Amino acid sequence: MSHQCLVKASNISVQFADRQVLQNVNLSVHQGQIVTLIGPNGAGKTTLIRVILGLLPVQSGSVEKPAGLRIGYMPQKLHIEPTMPITVRRFLELAQRKDAEPIGRLLEEVQVSHLMDHQLGSISGGEMQRVLLARALSQSPQLLVLDEPAQGVDVAGQADLYQLINDIRTSHHCGVLMISHDLHLVMAKTDEVVCLNHHICCHGRPEQVSVDPSYLALFGKKEAKNLAVYTHHHNHHHDLTGEVVEHSHD
């Protein structure tokens, strides 16, 4: 891909106390590319993106980003302190950059305009993820970093959310780095899968990774089979009642 490299992490190793969390991890994300980080719980996925975001110091290795790179970050979950009253509008205003799109426009893009004046604590899990995505978009990001974006979203909503992320990648010309457990849903849209378990087990295009022995060892045959089915038969869409809807995704 000839697009600009947005972030290049080289030989990242992280140790907490005497536990080696990451070992010589290399990862890069280019403009227009979706890179999905998969791996079992505790594999160091969140640690890796925290290092890339600069939330954790680089213990060894290096993280290179172009100067002034605009990053939109969507954290794993947002705990709203119940003593704080705050509307969706006010929450998004907190992040406002001078050159950002107006809040109404941001909410429209993630399809939750109707939530503008709702209390943040009263919206559903799926709505919250979309609001968090809007907050990430408010940074006019060149790179989106999403930590399990579909967490707490019902099954029907998950596919829509990943579709939305895919659309955003196209419309904002940004790179996307995300952690996901929903392998079968994200694979079809992903350019590169990185399978992490403290070190990188395997990486490459989804169809390559899905037959990689180290991937199969980590996730088992069953999950891998699901994945293969979904990557190859991705020509229809289910509506909320489960009916098949003819719909082109790309």
Partner 1 sequence: MTDFILRALLAGLCIAAIAGPLGSFVVWRRMSYFGDTLAHSSLLGIALGILLDIHLQLAVILGSVLFAVLLILLQRNKSLSTDTLLGILAHSTLAFGMLILALSDAVQINLVGYLFGDLLTVSTSDLWWIAMTTALLGIVLQKYWGQLLAVTVHEELAQVEGVPVSRLHALMVIMVALLIAVSMKIIGVLLITSLLIIPPAAARRYAKTPEQMAAGAGVTGCLAVCGGLLMSLYLDTPAGPSIVVTASVFFLISYLAPSLSGRKA
Q: Does 91 interact with partner 1 (rule: CB under 8 A)?
A: yes
Count of alpha carbons within 13 angstroms of residue 79, beta-carbon side:
1
For partner 1, the binding residues in 190-219 under the rule CB under 8 A are none
Find, among 115, 109, 51, 68, the residue nearest to 88 by Cα. 115
> Of 89-97, 178-186, 195-203, 237-245, which part binds partner 1 (CB under 8 A)?
89-97
Choose which of 54, 66, 104, 125 interacts with partner 1 (CB under 8 A). 54
Q: Does 67 interact with partner 1 (rule: CB under 8 A)?
A: no
Measured distance CA(116)–CA(114) in Å, rounded: 6
For the window 33-52, what string marks contact with partner 1 as x by the rule CB under 8 A? -----------------x--
- Could you write out the DSSP letters of every residue in 102-147? PHHHHHHHTT-GGGTTSBGGGS-HHHHHHHHHHHHHTT--SEEEEE
Using CB under 8 A, count the residues that bind partner 1.
Answer: 23
Choose which of 7, 12, 22, 75 interacts with partner 1 (CB under 8 A). 75
Measured distance CA(195)–CA(40) in Å, rounded: 9
Q: Which amino acid is at 159?
A: A
Question: Which parts of this chain interact with partner 1 (CB under 8 A)?
Answer: 50, 53-55, 71, 73, 75, 78, 80-81, 83-87, 90-91, 94-95, 119, 135, 139, 145
